[in-house]
Amino acid sequence: MKRGFIGTAIAAASIGVAGFGQAVSGAQQQAPASRYTPAPGAKDLKAVLFNWTWYMGMLRGPQERESVATLEYQASGTIQVDGQPCRLTKYRMSNNYQLAGQRIQYTCTRANGQQYSAIEVVSGQYAWDEDIVGAEIVPGKGKATPKPAVRDERLIRLWASPQGAPKAAVAGGDKTTVAYDTGKPVVTFPIPGVPGAIAKATLSAQNQAERVEVRQGNLVMEFTYADYADFNNPLNQIEAFMPGKLVEKRNGVTVRDLTTRETETGNVYVVMPVPENVRKATAAQP
């Protein structure tokens, strides 16, 4: 990857590269006086986090700030529905890392030929399903069904994702650590907004996550990633990388097996406004 490549947009909550050590210690970010470059073979946490975001293509602008704010992602493959694999005909994931939100729209075909569709959303501490995108934001348009029981699972999916994991690791401050397993860095960090959820990300020789395991009580979610490339439209490739293969397991059972079709990593507009009935239903939970 070319040093100093300038992306198409700068996110408001970017993290200065020279501020990685400050982010890890929890200190307030300061504008870097010069660009940080890890020593060859450096194995300390600051170097590992820099290399992780650098080789993901997440550092943007002349100051090399981590400034990826949103992601649009499309894939094919299978997803588990009612305990059975369902062949996807549509899968679109929209992430917002600044406001901690994700919307996944998918349509799939069951083994019996029946079609199934869903829109799964999480925004901050709220989770719900929609029958149309943006349901109930305009009164009388669509239905939003509160799903507080799956909020943690959906937040874990966001913060264990290929871009979300390095962001969460940097944000973990003093709670983020690095160790080595057969020479590979293993970064341990808390999942933002999910009490008790701890992630371990194993990085490849290319400084990209090949496996992220998240444990929260009896729940174990495992994400494996392979075949990283720039999947943006050929006219809009900006050396920002995503895995071509994503597999998610829940307590050992494969629940999503995805093959990347196309991404948009140029900080497109992604929002998940919370419908009022979802706020009320969530507030009413014991």
Instruction: Give tens-digit pLDDT for 183-200.
Output: 999 999 999 999 999 999
User: pLDDT band at residue 67, thresholds of 50, 70 and 90?
Assistant: confident
> What average pLDDT does the segment 7-29 reach?
34
Does some domain include residue 43? Answer: no
- Can you point out the beta strands (E) in 174-252? 177-181, 184-190, 198-203, 209-216, 219-229, 242-250
Token digits for 211? 């496996």
> What average pLDDT does the segment 100-105 reach?
97
Whole-prediction pTM: 0.84
Does some domain include residue 137? Answer: yes
Does some domain include residue 83? Answer: yes
Does some domain include residue 278? Answer: no
Does some domain include residue 12? Answer: no
> What average pLDDT does the segment 74-80 reach?
98
* Domain total in the chain: 1
pLDDT surpassing 90 at residue 104 = yes
Task: Compute the distance between CA of residue 276 and CA of residue 135 in angstroms, rounded to an integer.
Answer: 11
pLDDT digits (tens, 9 = 90+) for 34-62: 578 899 999 999 999 999 999 999 987 77
- Helix residue ranges per DSSP H, the chain: 20-25, 45-55, 151-159, 164-171, 276-283
> What average pLDDT does the segment 91-113 reach?
96
> What average pLDDT does the segment 190-219 reach?
97
Asked whether 79 and 111 are in contact (CB, 8 A), the reply is no
Say what the pLDDT of residue 135 is.
96
Say what the pLDDT of residue 268 is.
65
pLDDT surpassing 80 at residue 207 = yes
Task: Compute the distance between CA of residue 246 and CA of residue 190 in angstroms, rounded to an integer.
Answer: 21
Q: At 281, is the secondary structure helix, strand, or coil? A: helix
Token digits for 195? 């009490």
CB atoms within 10 A of CB 239: 13
Sign of CA dihedral 206, 207, 208, 210: positive
CB atoms within 10 A of CB 141: 11
User: What domain range is 110 assigned to?
Assistant: 71-156+268-272
pLDDT surpassing 90 at residue 122 = yes
> What average pLDDT does the segment 116-128 reach?
97
Span of 114-123, 153-162, 273-282 with lowest mean pLDDT: 273-282
pLDDT digits (tens, 9 = 90+) for 19-38: 343 333 333 344 444 578 89
Task: Compute the distance between CA of residue 68 and CA of residue 9 in angstroms, rounded to an integer.
Answer: 8
Q: At 128, is the secondary structure helix, strand, or coil? A: strand
Does some domain include residue 101? Answer: yes
Token digits for 187? 């970064």
Does some domain include residue 197? Answer: no
Say what the pLDDT of residue 282 is.
86
Question: In the predicted model, what is the mean pLDDT of the chain?
Answer: 87
Say what the pLDDT of residue 13 is.
31
pLDDT digits (tens, 9 = 90+) for 234-286: 887 888 899 999 999 999 999 999 999 999 987 766 777 899 989 988 888 77
Say what the pLDDT of residue 172 is.
97
Say what the pLDDT of residue 97 is.
95
